[in-house]
Amino acid sequence: MRALGARSAGGCRRLGAAGAAAAALGGWAVGTLPAHDPWGLWVPRGPALTAAGYAAAYGGLTLLVVAWWLYGRTGASVRHTLVTLVWWAAPFVLAPPLYSADVYSYVSQGVMVMEGHDVYSVGPSVLDPGGPGGDAAASVGGHWTDTPAPYGPFFLILARGVAGATGGTVVPAVLGMRLIALASLVLIVWALRNLAREHGRDESAALWLGALNPLLLIHVVGGIHNDGLMTGLMLAGALLALRGRWVSGSALIGLAVMVKSPAAVALLFVGVVVGRAASGPIARRVAKGLLGPGLVAGAVAAGATVVCGTGFGWLGTQGVAGRIHTALSLSSDLGLGLGELLRLLAGVDPDPARSAVQQLGLLVALVLIGRLAWHAATGRTEPVRALGPALLVLVALSPMVQPWYLLWATAVLAATASRGRALDAVTVLSAALVYETQPSGSTPPYGFVLAALACAACVLHLRRERAAPTGGKVPGQRRPVDEAASSDVRHATR
């Protein structure tokens, strides 16, 4: 690595850019290609190019992860980190969707809203195969073809805008959704920098973990997941609340909830901020903290619902994702195992047992989140700092867990936490979970093997660094930039 200059910030930048370019190039052959592309751009390339595409995609992904891990030790400036982010994100901008088919659901749902279908009672299969959004609907993953939308009206307004601007044609519509993902990345960067200042955290280190993160690059920029938009709005709302503008902050979090509902957790901790800053009797402060942010967010949610014209069906579709088993969900795995055991021993239906364990997992998560909020309310920890572990608990105990869900907590921890187990956990998992999903969107068994190997390697590396007699630096910690770093690092404004 030293021979390649990868120990310098400039060397890491070039290594990561090469990896991102290879991963994106491989995606043209093995990405989540649409069922039919009338433009002939995102189409299968044949067996030979498919094999080469997988080699490029996995090889490039590994280069990107290694470059990111090393970059965290270079002490690069904020300016250098931002330019590096542009270098690493750029190759994914025009690539086909990677690692997930969810964007085809977004496009289909936007067309459904445009045509007046009830997205909260039917799935994309209602679209005319030969009409607007038909190619996108045919490309939706099998689970979701007949599944109502689990997303809030604000996101559907955006999807409808993209569908209207592109006529639902699959390539421009997907690229339109990617523009929203890129705007989300910009919002995340802005919020990370400012939250890091509020918490005395180094901005560059926060950007390294929260924005330059390969898990974010491949799943928000490459995979176009709306988790990026949810996270950006949630972070911005928390920042405004910390700065005393809690009404605006709560409104932004309300919009985040109208993208994906887990953002509602942030309202609890913003309520703590509001209550602690309020004056007057304790009862008044508690009431203001408990009710104020929720009422503002509720008003925003109601307004978005009215503007979108989809009705309040979203209130009944928030649990549809939990019907699909994902191996990363601890509660679903335990519930499935218990249900199958009961079926073998007693011949009973396994589904009630699985559902009960999933609900128990959510109950435990709520108790732990409540305890974190209580610690924040009593001054044992700063409220937004407590939001990071709360989101991590929610992800760990949810009935459905995807690799990119980790980004909810990672962004908050990146901006607020210093050193600790939670920060170490999201750092290691960010490097490991990128391997769990294929570029085509499937989840093969070997993906879990690769993720486990990457996780073990990262843990061992962290331990070796901390045991080093020179006090080795862990990723994201600041140290002076290596003298071998390129001149743009040495002269950049911090």
Q: Which pLDDT tens digit goes with each residue over 384-404?
A: 999 999 999 999 999 889 999
DSSP assignments along 271-322, one per residue: HHHHHHH--S-HHHHHHHHHHHHHHHHHHHHHHHHHHHT--SGGGGSTTGGG
Residue 483 has pLDDT above 50, yes or no: no
Using CA atoms, how far apart are residues 427 and 410, in angstroms rounded to an integer?
8
Lowest mean pLDDT, pick from 32-36, 171-175, 371-375, 418-422: 418-422
Residue 490 binned pLDDT confidence (cut-offs 50, 70, 90) = very low
Across the range 405-418, mean pLDDT stands at 93
Is the pTM here over 0.85, yes or no?
A: yes
On average, the pLDDT of the chain sits at 89
Closest CA to 237 of 412, 417, 414, 422: 412
pLDDT at position 160: 95
| Confidence class for position 3, pLDDT limits 50, 70, 90 | very low
CA contacts within 13 A on the Cβ side of 337: 7
pLDDT at 169: 94
- What is the pLDDT at residue 1? 38
Residue 204: what pLDDT?
A: 95
CA distance 292 to 273: 11
Residues 326-344: tens digit of each pLDDT: 888 888 889 888 888 888 8
Residue 477 reports pLDDT greater than 60: no
For residue 340, the model assigns a pLDDT of 84
Choose among 238, 150, 230, 211: nearest CA to 405.
230
Amino acid 324: pLDDT: 74
Count the neighbouring beta carbons within 10 Å of the beta carbon of residue 36: 15
Q: 5: pLDDT confidence band, cut at 50, 70 and 90?
A: very low
pLDDT(450) > 90? yes
Contacts of 19 (CB under 8 A, 6+ apart): 59, 60, 61, 62, 63, 64, 65, 66, 67
Round to whole Å and give the CA distance between 404 and 60.
Answer: 19
Q: What is the pLDDT of residues 62-91, one digit of tens each?
A: 999 999 999 998 989 999 999 999 999 999
| pLDDT recorded at residue 321 | 67
Q: Which of 71-75, 104-108, 290-294, 472-476 has the highest mean pLDDT?
A: 104-108
Mean pLDDT for the stretch of residues 224-252: 96
pLDDT (0 to 100) of residue 481: 35
- Least-confidence region, from 32-46, 56-70, 212-226: 32-46
Instruction: Band the pLDDT of 2: cuts 50, 70, 90.
Output: very low
The residue-averaged pLDDT of 301-311 equals 89
Out of 144-148, 220-224, 293-297, 471-475, least confident range: 471-475
